[in-house]
């Protein structure tokens, strides 16, 4: 949720109840909703939020989102509480997945990336291909290093365990694992991350690194191409 003290927007409301509770406790009006993809844990709360909603629902043009909604495609711009966000097509997890990247931020721009990019991981390839996911992750990785990565699941510790198996010598991964363990033990989230950090710890953004390539080859990658490496890593993570 983003709010300015009076109006709130929410991203991927899989459940309406916590949204309604937050609106009530903070005295906020629901001004709009951003949706990244069609899975139920991202749109399940839409129907119940229609009544209090005072603005639009934006969602991916190439996916079936509960109507009515405004279909968004690559390059479109959405204004949220005075902040401009550009829509980026990021297929892979689903066929029409989109992300919202803040434009023209003075510092620490926001990225709402749904299930495409997680901290130290990426989404499963339910509908897309390894090539699509590699391209999508590459587009996100090109965003400024201080971009705040607001993904939609607290998978960080399990992803870091996998990242350490891929790159056991990566001290950034080991240090961040200790940091995240401390956060979770205190009941705090590990998110948002940052793009700069993800490029140091996330094996799916490091598919050209020699250690990651070597690990992927041991898991069945038939060449050193980044797409083949990502495909092998994703299959490995599926059974990890």
Residues carrying an active site annotation: 37, 39, 41-42, 93, 115, 153
Tokens of 7: 């109006």
Of 57, 82, 78, 56, the closest CA to residue 4 belongs to: 82
DSSP 90-127: --SSSTT-EEEEE-S-SSS-EEEEETTEETTEE---SS
10 Å CB burial of residue 67 (0-12, 13-18, 19+) is exposed
Question: In this structure, are strands 57-60 and 29-34 parallel, antiparallel, or unpaired?
Answer: parallel
Peptide bond into 213 cis (omega under 30): no
Whole-number Cα distances in Å, 45 to 34, 71, 134: 12, 18, 30
10 Å CB burial of residue 139 (0-12, 13-18, 19+) is middle
Element (H, E) at 34: strand 29-34
Question: In this structure, are strands 98-102 and 83-89 parallel, antiparallel, or unpaired?
Answer: antiparallel
Between CA 124 and CA 94 the distance in angstroms is 9
Tokens of 155: 């998978």
């Amino acid at each position: 949720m983003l709010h300015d003290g009076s109006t709130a927007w929410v991203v991927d409301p899989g459940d309406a109840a916590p949204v309604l509770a937050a609106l009530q406790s903070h005295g906020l009006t629901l001004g709009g909703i951003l949706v990244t993809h069609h899975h139920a844990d991202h749109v399940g709360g839409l129907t119940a939020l229609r009544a209090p909603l005072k603005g639009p629902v934006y969602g991916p043009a190439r996916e079936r989102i509960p109507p009515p909604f405004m279909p968004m495609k690559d390059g479109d711009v959405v204004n949220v509480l005075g902040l401009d966000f550009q829509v980026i097509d990021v297929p892979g997890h689903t066929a029409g997945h989109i992300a919202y990247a803040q434009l023209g931020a003075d510092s620490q721009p926001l990225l709402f990336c749904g299930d495409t990019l997680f901290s130290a991981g990426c989404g499963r390839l339910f509908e897309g291909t390894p090539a699509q996911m590699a391209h999508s992750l590459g587009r996100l990785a090109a965003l400024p290093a201080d971009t705040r990565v607001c993904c939609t699941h607290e998978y960080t510790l399990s992803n870091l365990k996998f990242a350490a198996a891929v790159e056991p010598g990566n001290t950034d991964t080991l240090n961040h694992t200790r940091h995240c363990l401390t956060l979770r033990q205190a009941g705090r989230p590990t998110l948002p991350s940052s793009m700069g950090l993800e490029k140091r710890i996330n094996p799916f953004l490091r598919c050209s690194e020699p250690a990651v390539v070597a690990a992927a080859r041991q898991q069945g990658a038939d060449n050193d191409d980044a797409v083949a490496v990502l495909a092998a890593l994703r299959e490995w993570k599926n059974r990890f």
